[in-house]
Amino acid sequence: MKLIDLAKVIRSKNAGPTTLTLDILFNDEAGYQRALNSPSLQPQAIAPLYGLKPEQVELIPYAPAMAIKISMDRKVVAGNPGDRDVYGAQQHGPLLEIEI
Amino acid sequence: MSAIERLRAQVKTADGLKPLRVLSASGQLGYGVPEAAFNEGLKREPHFIGCDMGSIDPGPYYLGSGNIATSEAQTRGDLALVLKGAHSHNVPLLIGTAGCAGAAPHLDAVLDMVRAIAHAEGLHFKLASIRADMPRDVVKHAIRQGKVKSLGAIADLTEADVDASTQLVGQMGIEAFQRALTAGADVVVAGRACDTAVYAAIPGMLGYELGPAMHMAKIVECASLCTTPGGRDALLGTLETSGGGSFIVDSMNPIRNASPMSVAAHSLYEQGDPYRVYEPEGTLHVDSAKYEQLDAHRTRVSGARWAPAQQFTVKIEGAAKVGERALMLAGCADPRAIAAMKEILPAVEKTVRELTAKTVKEKYEVYHRVYGIDGVFEWGGPPRELPREVFVMVEIIAETADAAKAVATVFKQFTLHHGFPGRISTGGNLAFPFTPPEVVTGPAYRFSAYHVMAVDELAALFPVTVEQL
């Protein structure tokens, strides 16, 4: 199953100008647990999609909202020359097609 | 009696503290405050009103240039609304991160608006302003002592970065707001400030538990963003003392419901870590928080803990000018040019650099973006199917606007007529929606600082001035 079909919300945003944070929210506990246990959401799998090393990516489960947070280094500080997305609000694309 | 003394007398009883009602008027003053919800909030007789006015999200331009991101007319209107609301209810008004970035030019512009509104409306009050500009020598001294650390993926701060910064601010915490209130302020307008400080300063002074107070501050500072459907309407937070402290989240727009899930999910928003919030005076831990549905519209939150810091820290933010920016803007609908665009643009850049070598003596930077292929995200390869059309933006950053424009103009012409293998459309490779297709956009900035500085004393960095209006 693709993540876009399993999740309720898949979003990205800066958490300060040096960090990008991706939030994946689910409709139910089953979907949340399924995604949480999937190797395809682990830092080792996510990092190459963003051109990063696994140690630059952190996965944080957040049970109170049945959500998975993935925080990572920005390759370009927000708004600096060479940036493509100052707010970081359109960096979720690679997550959508991930097979869970 | 000062505003804070009045509040103390109102909430203090022999049995402890009464519930404290906190009205968050806006998560970003200057983009319009929905009036119906704000007026509903005033009817609930809040003990004070808070507004956040800034953010680092819009990038380094606003901090660096000293310009405000919101329109002057809208900002003036929002300020007038909240000033009149607070004045008519005789409660304090606290505004954080004046003018988007909270450096001296932003703060001064907002203070001028506040004075002009007070004069025009016949409002009289004690206005406190708090500066957040970091003394350069203090930051440089801290660098030399190893007390400045990067926040995330940014290089170590150097003394050259400090000198290059057109503006350099620090985020103040509750301590600065509390000093302004102790000095007798009715209205506090702060430079760069933690969003939470606006809402947690008064509860902290009055003796409410800082864990729930800080957690409430973190939730309410975005107004009704934590509800379903989320929105910008005013939000009322009610701080309670029983059972170790809790707070109630209540949107002033009846269609925006706060549920345990929507409020809990807000801890994720724009936070790298949903369990911890770092403040100058300590750390808020929300891993122990409990969210409980009160009714269809309201949620009660309890259980957050506050851990005072062993060492005070201040987040510092700086922006430095990198040059002047010009853009070349064009579209393309030719399938062969689209397929070759990622090779065409570097080839044209090479030609342009040769052609301008004699006329543009200064160094310049060139960035190409092909929207439809990888303008927004570096996909690492072309899409499976190429799009029917693409949009091409070439960005030039040079020392002067003239040089940037000159390079953009040459770039336009040589992209239009660039020959490449398999070219079939020899009339021109680009469609210009208008001319001139090269546009000078003004100064470009970078973040020169996004670091944290350990300090022994906070008060000296955030001076308070009080004036009677």
- Look at residue A40 and tell me if it is in a domain: yes
User: Which domain covers residue B382, as residue numbers?
Assistant: 321-446
Q: At what angle do helices B35-43 and B72-89 cross, to 10 degrees?
A: 10
Instruction: Check whether residue B123 and residue B238 sit in a common domain.
Output: yes
DSSP labels for A24-80? EEESSHHHHHHHHT-GGGSHHHHHHHTT--GGGEEEEEEGGGTEEEEEEE-SS-TTS
- Look at residue A55 and tell me if it is in a domain: yes
- The pLDDT, as a whole number, for residue B244 is 86
Q: Tell me the per-residue pLDDT of B56-81, one tens digit each, with 9 for 90 and over.
A: 999 999 999 999 999 999 999 999 99
Give the amino acid at B338: I
Instruction: Check whether residue B306 and residue B326 sit in a common domain.
Output: no
A25, A81, A82 ranked by CB distance to B265: nearest: A25
Q: At what angle do helices B335-355 and B401-416 cross, to 10 degrees?
A: 140
Contact between A78 and B57 using a beta-carbon 8 Å cutoff: yes
End-to-end CA, chain A: 5
- The pLDDT, as a whole number, for residue B303 is 95
Chain B closest-CA separation from residue A1 CA (Å): 21
Domain count, chain A: 1
- Look at residue B386 and tell me if it is in a domain: yes
- The pLDDT, as a whole number, for residue B409 is 96
Q: Tell me the per-residue pLDDT of B406-448, one tens digit each, with 9 for 90 and over.
A: 999 999 999 999 999 999 999 999 999 999 999 999 999 999 9
The partner residues of B318 in beta bridges, in order of sequence, read B168, B449
**Is the preceding peptide bond at B105 cis, omega within 30 degrees of 0?**
no
How many A/B residue pairs have CB atoms within 8 Å?
125
- Look at residue B52 and tell me if it is in a domain: yes
Domain count, chain B: 2
Instruction: Check whether residue B82 and residue B210 sit in a common domain.
Output: yes
- Look at residue A80 and tell me if it is in a domain: no
- Look at residue B244 and tell me if it is in a domain: yes
The answer to whether the CB of B64 falls within 8 A of the CB of B321 is yes
- Look at residue A9 and tell me if it is in a domain: yes
Domain boundary among B310, B332, B349: B310
Domain boundary among B266, B289, B310: B310
Which residues have CB under 8 Å from B43's CB, separation 6+?
Answer: none
A19, A67, A78 ranked by CB distance to B272: nearest: A19
The partner residues of A61 in beta bridges, in order of sequence, read A68
Domain boundary among B276, B310, B344: B310
Instruction: Check whether residue B93 and residue B227 sit in a common domain.
Output: yes
User: Which domain covers residue A13, as residue numbers?
Assistant: 3-75
Instruction: Check whether residue B203 and residue B251 sit in a common domain.
Output: yes
Q: Is the pLDDT of residue A74 over 90?
A: yes
- Look at residue B338 and tell me if it is in a domain: yes
Instruction: Check whether residue B260 and residue B409 sit in a common domain.
Output: no
Q: Tell me the per-residue pLDDT of B86-128, one tens digit each, with 9 for 90 and over.
A: 999 999 999 999 999 999 999 999 999 999 999 999 999 999 9
> What residue spans of B90-194 are helical by DSSP H?
104-121, 136-144, 159-164, 174-182
Which residues have CB under 8 Å from B142's CB, separation 6+?
Answer: B148, B453, B454, B455
- The pLDDT, as a whole number, for residue B242 is 87
Q: Which H or E run includes B321?
A: strand B312-332
- Look at residue B465 and tell me if it is in a domain: no
Instruction: Check whether residue B260 and residue B380 sit in a common domain.
Output: no
Region class of B256: left (phi > 0), else alpha (psi between -120 and 50), else beta: beta
Instruction: Check whether residue B326 and residue B420 sit in a common domain.
Output: yes
A74, A77, A85 ranked by CB distance to B446: nearest: A77
Residue B347 sits in a domain of what CATH number?
3.30.70.600
Instruction: Check whether residue B83 and residue B180 sit in a common domain.
Output: yes
Regions in chain B scoring below 70 on pLDDT: none
- The pLDDT, as a whole number, for residue B269 is 87
Burial of B43 (0-12, 13-18, 19+ CB in 10 A): exposed
Residue B411: phi and psi, rounded to 5, are -60, -40
Chain B interface, best mutation among A9, A62, A91, by max B CB count within 10 A: A62
Instruction: Check whether residue B80 and residue B224 sit in a common domain.
Output: yes
- Look at residue A11 and tell me if it is in a domain: yes
pTM score above 0.90: yes
CA angle B130, B49, B71 (to 5 degrees): 70
**Residue in B closest to A56 by C-alpha:** B153
**Residue in B closest to A48 by C-alpha:** B380
- Look at residue A8 and tell me if it is in a domain: yes
- Look at residue B19 and tell me if it is in a domain: yes
- Look at residue A30 and tell me if it is in a domain: yes
Instruction: Check whether residue B293 and residue B348 sit in a common domain.
Output: no
- Look at residue B255 and tell me if it is in a domain: yes
Chain A closest-CA separation from residue B54 CA (Å): 13
The whole-number average pLDDT for the span A38-56 is 96
- Look at residue A97 and tell me if it is in a domain: no
Q: Report CA torsion sign: B103, B109, B113, B116.
A: positive
Tokens 């920005």 correspond to A74
If we measure between CA atoms, which residue out of B11, B82, B87 comes closest to residue B47? B11
Instruction: Check whether residue B256 and residue B116 sit in a common domain.
Output: yes
- Report chain B residues touching chain A, CB-CB < 8 A: 56-61, 150-154, 260-261, 264-265, 267-275, 289, 291, 322, 365, 367, 369, 375-380, 395, 397, 444-447, 450
Residue A58 sits in a domain of what CATH number?
3.30.70
What is the edge-to-edge ordering of all strands in the sheet holding B305-308? B276-279, B282-285, B305-308
